[in-house]
């Protein structure tokens, strides 16, 4: 057991019989009264975000979460298959756990998978990925001064808005947090 002084962003605590991830926190010492800690917690199972206030010094149960680097192999009907880079064991991760991360996963890519014991909690993608354009309309010459964009379908099936000069076969850098186009890496 630890106290509120051990709270930090990304820590996982057991609160109200649920695993909650600390998204942000603030230690508050008002002029009158005792200090407290104001937190934003995300329920790992449901994804809901709660605001919670703890009195300073109360005991909290922190969970030890392990991150393992694993390689994405392929997508099955209801799950994604990953392989442990050290032991070569394969695990199935349900589509609900992968969530929107499926838009950025391609075969052979390494990601960090967060475990509580043997249970998969979450998938941590890199901040940026490089994906190829499989389908887009050709750009119209002379229409680039307006900063216009067009839709492009990437190799994972994800559709993103790109500038008009992007053609099929181009490799793009995509931000996995916002899902937006960053730059063209290769043509």
- Residue ranges covered by each domain of the chain: 2-63, 66-124, 128-186
Res. 154 pLDDT band, cuts 50 70 90: very high
Fold of 2-63: SH3 type barrels. (2.30.30)
66-124 and 128-186 agree in CATH topology: yes
The mean pLDDT value for 61-89 works out to 89
pLDDT for 177 beyond 90: no
Cβ atoms of residues 121 and 65 within 8 Å: yes
> What region, left, alpha or beta, does residue 17 occupy, with left being phi > 0 and alpha being psi -120 to 50 degrees?
left
Fold of 66-124: OB fold (Dihydrolipoamide Acetyltransferase, E2P) (2.40.50)
pLDDT of residue 142: 62
Strand partners, 28: 36
Least confident piece of the model among 3-7, 49-53, 66-70: 3-7
Q: Tell me the C-alpha distance between 151 and 160, whole Å.
A: 6
The mean pLDDT value for 48-77 works out to 89
The mean pLDDT value for 129-134 works out to 92
Cβ atoms of residues 16 and 60 within 8 Å: no
pLDDT for 141 beyond 80: no
CATH code for the structural domain at 128-186:
2.40.50.140
The mean pLDDT value for 90-119 works out to 87
Least confident piece of the model among 77-91, 116-130, 161-175: 116-130
Write down the pTM of the prediction. 0.70
Res. 144 pLDDT band, cuts 50 70 90: low
Q: Tell me the C-alpha distance between 96 and 116, whole Å.
A: 17
């Amino acid at each position: 057991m630890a106290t509120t002084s051990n709270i930090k962003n990304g820590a996982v605590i057991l609160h109200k019989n649920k695993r909650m991830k600390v998204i942000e926190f603030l230690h508050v010492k008002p002029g009158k009264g005792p200090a407290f800690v104001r937190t934003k917690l995300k329920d790992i199972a449901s994804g809901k975000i709660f605001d919670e206030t703890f009195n300073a010094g109360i005991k909290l149960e922190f969970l030890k979460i392990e991150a393992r680097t694993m390689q994405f192999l392929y997508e099955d009907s209801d799950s994604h298959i990953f392989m442990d880079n050290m032991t070569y064991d394969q695990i199935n991760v349900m589509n609900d756990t992968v969530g929107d991360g499926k838009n950025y996963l391609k075969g052979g890519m390494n990601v960090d998978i967060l475990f509580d014991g043997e249970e998969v909690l979450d998938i941590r993608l890199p901040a940026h990925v490089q994906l190829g354009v499989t389908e887009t309309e050709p750009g119209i010459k002379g229409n680039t001064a307006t900063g216009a964009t067009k839709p492009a379908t990437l190799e994972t099936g994800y559709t993103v808005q790109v500038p008009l000069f992007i053609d099929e076969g181009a490799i793009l850098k995509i931000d996995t947090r916002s899902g937006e186009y960053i730059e063209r890496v290769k043509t």
